[in-house]
Chains A and B, each alone.
Chain A
Amino acid sequence: MSRDKHQIAAAIARDIATAHPDGAFVNLGIGQPTLVADHLPEGSGVVLHTENGMLNMGPAAAEGQVDPDLTNAGKIPVTELPGCSYFDSAASFAMMRGDHLDVCVLGAFQVSQTGDLANWHTGAPDAIPAVGGAMDLAIGARSVWVMMTLLDKQGRPKIVPECTYPLTGVGCIERVYTDLGTFEITPEGVVARDLAGTTYDELASLLAPVRLLRP
């Protein structure tokens, strides 16, 4: 069985907690990566950062709690947790570029075998380019992980020899979590682990000519 988005999010949450037993400062990209917050173990010590200027962001606001002055990067109303702080946009992005953020989880159109990321623009003639904080996050966080389906809607792999979409960042991705498994980007090649509903040989032929390695 392949993993659904909640199972992928749970795997990411587990790895954050394992890699940072004393807690971590984490930014979750808009869209599916926000699901990771729902799977963080109790007492994980993870502090969520949102690019629009807040640390210790709480869950989405329930009806009746909505405050238009308190939103996340996706402009969805959220809540405060004890110990939260607010700061301006320059300080928020200094936290990324200045090597203060432990982990960032982003969505992606494509990741190359050398860790290049494409997630901001399809390059289509009628598309309106919009980058937001993606380029700052991609090069800023100490560990930048991707959460995505391994195949696009046409069934083509999104881990590729070289990105064909415009780049967000160069050599910035450390790890890719997908429905069919987790992939570490290493200098020797792409290491596949935690396969779900597939085999190493199937994945190797699917992703070729990307060099796939066993753990």
Chain B
Amino acid sequence: MLTSYDDAVAGTADGSTVMVGGFGMAGMPVELIDALIRQGAKDLTIVSNNAGNGDTGLAALLAAGRVRKVVCSFPRQVDSWVFDGLYRAGEIELEVVPQGNLAERMRAAGAGIGAFFSPTGVGTPLAEGKEVREIDGRTYVLEMPIRADLALVKAHVADRLGNLVYRRTARNFGPVMCTAATTVAVQVDRVVEVGELDPESIVTPAIFVDRVVPADSVAATRTEEVA
């Protein structure tokens, strides 16, 4: 369960779909993304709420030329210059998904739901080409689950089993992403012994988590690089 940033993303294949947690920089797993850049996988499809901020984290992965497509709700922000440049140059594909449908599509994947009817987006360009159905007088659009090969998530504290608690609004997409990916790698501020987390407070139970990286392995990774 406990591992380093580099081992947490080892084996990521070219062409993988990777979920990246965070709402802007809150909950962005920056060190795991840096490890994915070092690992070298390319032609990636990224599923995230945004498309990178500034020059770090997801923006750095985009700048490294590793991403073929971004699936997100809100790419355009004051500090999304890396994505904006790639998009305007035609070097990256974009699928815009309403934020609630994005979250629910991941939830559906993680919960084994084949598809679901959502009222969000009905009658808009984002529902074009999708099956529509009227249920009890209201119109809904069929939305498919989103699965990933790898999820990169940031949480606050993990125990050694992989039970997670988050911190404030940095929680956002983390819990649903943990349920929807084949391999789930989580970086945390600290790791505690089994039994130290209040069972009533655990947000993501360990069954959804594969790899946990404590924050202090930053130093370990950097030392190895220097060596």
Name A's B-contacting residues (CB within 8 A). Answer: 50-54, 67-71, 75, 80, 86-90, 92-94, 96-97, 116, 121, 126, 128-136, 139-140, 166-170
Contact = CB atoms under 8 A, between A and B. Distances in A.
Interface string B177-221: 000000000000000000000000001000000000000000000
A104 to B, nearest CB: 13
B99 A130 contact: no
Contacts of B104: 90, 93-94
A69 B96 contact: no
B96 A139 contact: no
Contacts of B87: 128
A135 B76 CA distance: 16
B162 interface: no
A168 B119 CA distance: 12
Given A139-B120, A170-B122, A130 B168 contact: no
Given A89-B49, A126-B88, A128-B84, A97 B118 contact: yes
B169 A86 contact: yes
Interface string B64-102: 000000000111110000011001100000101111111
Given A71-B23, A132-B74, A132-B98, 6 more contacts: A90-B107, A90-B175, A92-B103, A129-B76, A135-B100, A136-B98
B174 A88 contact: yes
Contacts of A135: 98, 100-101, 120-121, 124, 126
A169 B124 CA distance: 7
A116 B166 CA distance: 38
Contact of B103 (A70, A90, A126, A128): A90
Contact of A88 (B94, B123, B124, B172): B172
B168 A69 contact: yes
Contact of B172 (A52, A140, A167): A52
Interface in B94-134: 94, 96-104, 106-107, 118-126
A156 B168 CA distance: 43
B27 A128 contact: no
A121 to B, nearest CB: 8
B176 interface: yes
Contact of A133 (B77, B100, B124): B100
6 closest cross-chain pairs (CB), A and B: A93-B100, A136-B100, A170-B123, A89-B103, A69-B170, A130-B76
